[in-house]
């Protein structure tokens, strides 16, 4: 009975070729792998060994990593390699030699058996081809067929083996990692060059089409999509870098173009369109595939506007405090900066409305947030922002909201006019009036939000009623790769943080206990497991459960250094109390 | 006989006789089928199932082959009650078992004692539920016939486990399927009985159905790993309704990435790896993007955790403290689940490679030397 996918209800498919060269690995990203690599060859490899045992439980651990971990773990038990004097359960020389020998045997077998054809080459020949030190081959032979080699020999062999493993696997693999985690500078350069390439390609493509030469037209297209794919792949790990690079380019384009100082709002908008026309295409292409880029850009620009405004008003405030009742004339460059940003924002919102997929898929609450922020920041005196807010409201297809925002914008316009007339005199009276209207607006927006929420509620209530259920369907779900968590928009997902929350406290504690060494795992079923893990105050049942107390779920991100969560309250414990807790914690088998 | 088996399956004369003799027994039989790997045990068991279903309205099937189970995805031991004849003997189909236990591995080699305890627990369950004793003095009267399928591991540890199984279950009929190469077969005669002869046991020895050109009885070649992957994919196909348009593996992978998962708070779930100790600080690294068994942990530690099905932990949000799990187990039964069992069952890699949604665990820059 040949295996056939149609057996189980699947249509026959051409066998998926392995040319995509992707392989299942037990680590989440290369950052994790690099962490293990650095820790493994450092002075205290315990954290790396723990992580490798977690990898082992996933059953896809490459044999070379497994063997490296075994040798290093054996070396930890070897008094010759250990600096301190831990006297618990030290092994006899015979046993140590046995362990080393076994590890070396597994190394040789594991590496060679995969690369040689049994009939063609002997083990020695195949080993030579890979470069394994002859010593290891001999030890393997000795150990299997003759008597156990001496401890001295296997000890030095283990050092040789580690060096060989480094040169055969660890170094080459880390070189094969893109960006090697060397720092975001590298990544940024790469992104910049890629985006420049993209810009050039698009320009070429645009002009090529007009000159209607088929040959030229095809290649840029392919290249464009290749670069696009590359940039988007980078997005999942380096999203903020991409956003900042794009923003840099956009702002540079705006500021470098010759905008005369006295340009009023209307002509500013036109010029923005012209200046940024090139970038429009790029952004459209990027945001079609990854709408979150646009969202992040919008948020970033708003943030920048906000900080500028805050700074400006802070200055003004201090100035007022010193010299009340003096009219303030805004300094030129700052107005221009603000105008750049607001026109950039308006332009971006324009793009948002042009990208139909993005607008449709962006959840309402995200647009709400944006709108709210926009209104708050506009502070009634930035017409462009208010207009953008109106546009955003239109995108949301909510007529009620649109009305409100329209009325609001009318009010703001009238305020603006009156403010201009009085040559921007910021008297305390005006400030109060502004504040009041802002508060009112916020309240109105809140009301609107609540209305929308209420309209949504009935459908949510219909499902789970009565008792609170532990297993519920996730309320809002964006598709994302298996293993990642969903983003607010788009389907690229972001990498999760998988550290157990207690870890922070654990590490802080461990700092104060430097002579902790891992107690060897004698018998796996034994009760005395790694005591450092029990360092935490919360008592755990080691074998089965890792139950998180309710307070942990509340996520006290403000972890106070040196404190433990005892009985739901952060307390600072003395050494003795910690020792007492430790001694009272035992495994319940 | 009635139902004609599918034309590709050849049922030799010996098998027909064996089936008849088992069906003819006066009391509902307990039949155990054993033999080397790929000799045709499963096919014979399906054939026997059909025969018994003509006589009895319901038949129980105890599947102890964790590598290639009949009605469940791999790594399960299950007891299934069947009442419909399977017309086509070539097509395996997924059914919901009466009870099952998640073993977490496709062979018992890592933990034969736990495996054996699971088998005995399933058999005990069968006896308690389906064997009633009407009167105190009379021995237990069996209600439903039972067919026991075994893994094809007949040497070494596998042999010992098989012997223990036979001693515990004491079936009324033992069907031993032989192939030509003698050293791959089980020993002749009642090999598990240490020389004593038990009157109540009928040993039926038959030969494997396939023969090669020299008329030697040969094993059927199978790609076990591929079969297992297909089985797992068919299982998760059940997350979607049967009329949804998913007919290729690519479509299934895509649908799974877009499927809205269940959300469960980490605090209300226990996580346990069945075959190794995972350091408590590394739980999530070990759990993310893996297949787990959804089990109900009983308060009494002696009771084994009955399992409801498989799930894929597709994401862990430590900030919110929730797990996201995809599973075809119906929502109403899910509420009981409070234990996730990790094993060595991997997600088929084709499910992780979705166009535009590739899992981070499928890495592109690994060296070709493993």
pLDDT surpassing 80 at residue A134: yes
pLDDT at residue A529, rounded to an integer: 37
Choose between B269 and A542: higher pLDDT: B269
Provide the strand spans (E) within A362-499: 472-473
pLDDT at residue B103, rounded to an integer: 94
DSSP β-bridge partners for residue B178: B207
Q: Which of A79-88, A318-327, A343-352, A539-548 has the highest mean pLDDT?
A: A343-352
Provide the strand spans (E) within B252-337: 262-265, 270-273, 290-296, 306-317, 322-326
| Contact with chain B for residue A56, Cβ under 8 A | yes
pLDDT at residue A438, rounded to an integer: 81
pLDDT at residue A548, rounded to an integer: 37
- Stretch among A490-494, A518-522, B37-41, B69-73 having the lowest mean pLDDT: A518-522
Predicted confidence (pLDDT) per residue in A362-376, tens digit: 667 677 777 777 777
Sign of CA dihedral A509, A513, A515, A520: negative
pLDDT surpassing 70 at residue B326: yes
Q: Cα separations (Å) of B256 from A476, B260, B357?
A: 16, 8, 11
- In this prediction, residues B158-163 reach a mean pLDDT of 93
Predicted confidence (pLDDT) per residue in B8-50, tens digit: 667 888 888 888 888 888 888 999 999 888 888 888 898 899 8
> Using 50, 70 and 90 to split pLDDT, how confident is the model at A554?
very low
- Between the CA atoms of B20, B22, B23 and B24, what dihedral angle is there, to the nearest 10 degrees? 80
Choose between B261 and A323: higher pLDDT: B261
Share of chain A above pLDDT 70, in %: 58
- In this prediction, residues B65-92 reach a mean pLDDT of 85
Å between B24 CA and nearest CA of chain A: 29
> Using 50, 70 and 90 to split pLDDT, how confident is the model at A516?
very low
CB proximity list for A542: less than 8 A, separation 6 or greater: A529, A533, A534, A587, A588, B280
- Stretch among A258-272, A543-557, B330-344 having the lowest mean pLDDT: A543-557
Q: Cα separations (Å) of B109 from A548, B76, B104, B116, B297?
A: 34, 15, 12, 11, 25
pLDDT at residue A538, rounded to an integer: 36
CB proximity list for B204: less than 8 A, separation 6 or greater: B18, B21, B22, B173, B174, B175, B176
Q: Which of A288, A471, A498, A502 to mutate to test the interface with B (most CBs of B within 10 A)?
A: A471
Q: Which of residues 50-109 of B touch A (CB under 8 A)?
A: 90-92
> Using 50, 70 and 90 to split pLDDT, how confident is the model at A528?
very low
As given in the structure block, the two tokens for residue A201 are 């390609």
Contacts of A497 in chain B (CB under 8 A): 318-319
- Between the CA atoms of B317, A556, B267 and B319, what dihedral angle is there, to the nearest 10 degrees? 0
> Using 50, 70 and 90 to split pLDDT, how confident is the model at B325?
very high
- In this prediction, residues A515-542 reach a mean pLDDT of 39
- Per DSSP, chain A holds a count of helices (H) and strands (E) of 23, 4
A58/B267 CB distance under 8 A: no
| Contact with chain A for residue B200, Cβ under 8 A | no
pLDDT surpassing 60 at residue A167: yes
A9/B367 CB distance under 8 A: no
Residue B316: strand, helix, or coil: strand
Predicted confidence (pLDDT) per residue in A193-239, tens digit: 877 877 777 777 766 555 544 444 456 677 777 777 777 777 766 67
SS (H, E, C) A513-580: CCCCCCCCCCCCCCCCCCHHHHHCCCCCCCCCCCCCCHHHHCCCCCCCCCEEEECCEEEECCHHHHHH
A176/B248 CB distance under 8 A: no
| Contact with chain B for residue A129, Cβ under 8 A | no
Predicted confidence (pLDDT) per residue in B201-210, tens digit: 778 887 777 7
Q: Using CA atoms, how far apart are residues A286 and B324, in angstroms rounded to an integer?
A: 29
B262/A473 CB distance under 8 A: yes
| Contact with chain B for residue A484, Cβ under 8 A | yes
Q: Count CB atoms within 10 A of the CB of residue B321.
A: 19
As given in the structure block, the two tokens for residue B325 are 């799990």
> Using 50, 70 and 90 to split pLDDT, how confident is the model at A69?
very high
> Using 50, 70 and 90 to split pLDDT, how confident is the model at B164?
very high
Strand B173-178 to strand B30-35: parallel, antiparallel, or no bridges (unpaired)? parallel
Q: Which of A279-288, A406-415, B153-162 has the highest mean pLDDT?
A: B153-162
pLDDT at residue B182, rounded to an integer: 78
pLDDT surpassing 50 at residue A503: no
Q: Using CA atoms, how far apart are residues A165 and A171, in angstroms rounded to an integer?
A: 9
Q: Using CA atoms, how far apart are residues B115 and A252, in angstroms rounded to an integer?
A: 68
Contacts of B74 in chain A (CB under 8 A): none
The interface pTM score, or ipTM, of the predicted complex is 0.89
Gyration radius of chain B's alpha carbons: 22
In chain B, the residue whose alpha carbon lies closest to the alpha carbon of A56 is B286
pLDDT surpassing 70 at residue A254: yes
pLDDT surpassing 70 at residue A464: no
pLDDT at residue B1, rounded to an integer: 39
B285/A543 CB distance under 8 A: no
> Using 50, 70 and 90 to split pLDDT, how confident is the model at A330?
very low
Choose between A380 and A557: higher pLDDT: A380
């Amino acid at each position: 009975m040949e295996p056939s996918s149609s057996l189980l209800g699947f249509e026959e498919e051409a066998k998926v070729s392995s040319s995509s060269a992707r392989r299942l690995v037990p680590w989440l990203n290369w950052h994790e792998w690099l962490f293990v690599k650095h820790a493994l060859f450092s002075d205290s490899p315990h954290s790396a060994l723990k992580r490798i045992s977690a990898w082992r439980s996933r059953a896809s651990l490459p044999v070379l990593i497994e063997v490296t971990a075994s040798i290093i773990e054996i070396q930890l038990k070897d008094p010759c390699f250990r600096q301190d004097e831990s006297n618990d359960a030290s092994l006899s020389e015979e046993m140590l030699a046995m362990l080393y020998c076994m590890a070396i045997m597994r190394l040789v077998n594991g590496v060679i058996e995969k690369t040689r054809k049994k009939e063609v080459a002997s083990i020695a020949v195949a080993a030579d081809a890979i470069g394994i030190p002859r010593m290891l081959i001999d030890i393997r032979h000795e150990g299997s067929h003759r008597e156990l080699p001496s401890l001295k020999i296997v000890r030095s062999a283990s050092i040789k083996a580690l060096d060989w493993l480094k040169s055969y696997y660890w170094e080459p693999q880390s070189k094969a990692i893109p960006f090697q985690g060397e720092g975001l500078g590298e990544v940024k350069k790469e992104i910049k060059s890629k985006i420049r390439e993209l810009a050039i390609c698009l320009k070429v493509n645009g002009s090529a089409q007009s000159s209607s030469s088929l040959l030229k037209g095809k290649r840029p297209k392919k290249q464009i999509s290749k670069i696009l794919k590359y940039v988007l792949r980078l997005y999942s790990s380096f999203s903020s870098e991409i956003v900042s690079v794009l923003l840099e380019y956009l702002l540079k384009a705006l500021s470098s173009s010759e905008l005369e100082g006295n340009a009023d709002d209307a002509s500013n908008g036109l010029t923005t369109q012209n200046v940024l026309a090139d970038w429009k295409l790029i952004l459209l292409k990027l945001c079609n595939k990854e709408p979150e880029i646009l969202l992040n850009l919008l948020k970033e620009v708003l943030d920048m506007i906000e900080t500028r405004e805050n700074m400006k008003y802070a200055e003004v405030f201090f100035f007022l405090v010193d010299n009340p009742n003096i009219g303030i004339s805004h300094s030129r460059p700052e107005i221009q900066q603000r105008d750049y940003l607001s026109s950039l924002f308006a332009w971006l919102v324009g793009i948002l409305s042009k990208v139909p997929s993005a607008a449709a898929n962006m959840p309402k609450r995200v647009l709400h947030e944006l709108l709210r922020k926009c209104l708050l920041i506009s502070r009634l005196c930035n017409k462009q922002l208010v207009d953008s807010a109106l546009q955003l409201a239109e995108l949301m297809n909510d007529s009620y909201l649109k009305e409100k925002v329209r009325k609001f914008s009318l009010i703001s316009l009238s305020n603006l006019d009156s403010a201009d007339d009085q040559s921007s005199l910021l008297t305390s009276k005006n400030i109060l009036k502004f504040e009041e209207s802002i508060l009112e607006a916020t309240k109105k927006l809140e009301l609107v939000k609540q209305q929308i929420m209420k309209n949504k509620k009935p459908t949510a209530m219909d499902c789970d009623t009565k008792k609170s259920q532990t297993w519920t369907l996730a309320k809002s779900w964006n598709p994302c790769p298996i293993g990642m968590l969903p983003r607010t928009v788009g389907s690229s997902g972001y990498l999760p943080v998988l550290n157990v929350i207690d870890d922070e406290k654990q590490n802080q504690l461990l700092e104060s206990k430097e002579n902790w060494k891992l107690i060897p795992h004698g018998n796996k079923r034994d009760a005395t497991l790694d005591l450092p893990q029990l360092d935490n105050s919360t008592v755990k049942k080691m074998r089965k459960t890792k139950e998180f107390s309710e307070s942990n779920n509340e996520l006290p991100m403000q972890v106070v250094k040196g404190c433990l969560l005892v009985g739901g309250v952060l307390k600072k414990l003395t050494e003795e109390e910690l020792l007492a807790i430790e001694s009272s914690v035992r495994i319940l088998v | 006989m009635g139902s004609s088996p599918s034309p590709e399956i050849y049922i030799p004369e010996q098998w027909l006789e064996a089936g008849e003799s088992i069906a003819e027994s006066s009391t509902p039989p307990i039949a155990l089928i054993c033999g080397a790997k790929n000799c045709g045990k499963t096919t014979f068991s399906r054939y026997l199932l059909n025969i018994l279903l003509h006589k009895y309205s319901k038949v129980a099937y105890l599947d102890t082959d964790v590598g290639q189970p009949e009605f469940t995805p791999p790594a399960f031991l299950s007891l299934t009650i069947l009442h419909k004849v399977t017309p086509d003997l070539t097509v395996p189909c997924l059914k919901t078992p009466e009870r099952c236990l998640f073993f977490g591995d496709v062979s018992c080699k890592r933990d034969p004692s736990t495996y054996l305890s699971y088998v005995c627990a399933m058999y005990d369950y069968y006896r308690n539920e389906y064997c009633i004793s009407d009167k105190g003095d009379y021995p237990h009267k069996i209600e439903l016939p039972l067919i026991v399928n075994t893994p094809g591991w007949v040497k070494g540890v596998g042999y010992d486990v098989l012997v223990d199984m036979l001693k515990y279950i004491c079936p009324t009929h033992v069907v031993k399927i032989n192939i030509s190469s003698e050293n791959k077969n089980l020993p002749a005669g009642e090999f598990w009985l240490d020389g004593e002869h038990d009157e109540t046991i009928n040993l039926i020895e038959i030969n494997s159905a396939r023969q090669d050109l020299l008329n030697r009885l040969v094993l059927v070649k199978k790609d076990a790993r591929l079969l297992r992957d297909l089985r797992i994919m068919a299982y998760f196909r059940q997350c979607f309704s049967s009329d949804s348009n998913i007919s290729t593996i690519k479509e299934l992978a895509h649908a799974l990435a877009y499927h809205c998962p269940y959300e469960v708070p980490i605090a209300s779930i226990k996580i346990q790896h069945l075959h190794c100790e995972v350091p408590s600080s590394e739980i999530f690294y070990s759990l993310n993007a893996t297949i787990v068994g959804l089990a109900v942990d009983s308060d009494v530690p002696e009771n084994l955790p009955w399992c409801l099905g498989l799930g894929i932990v597709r994401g862990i949000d430590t900030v919110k403290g929730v797990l996201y799990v995809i599973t075809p187990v119906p929502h109403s039964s899910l509420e009981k689940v409070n234990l996730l069992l990790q094993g060595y069952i991997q997600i088929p890699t084709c499910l992780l490679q979705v166009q535009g949604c590739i899992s981070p665990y499928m890495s592109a820059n690994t060296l070709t030397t493993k």
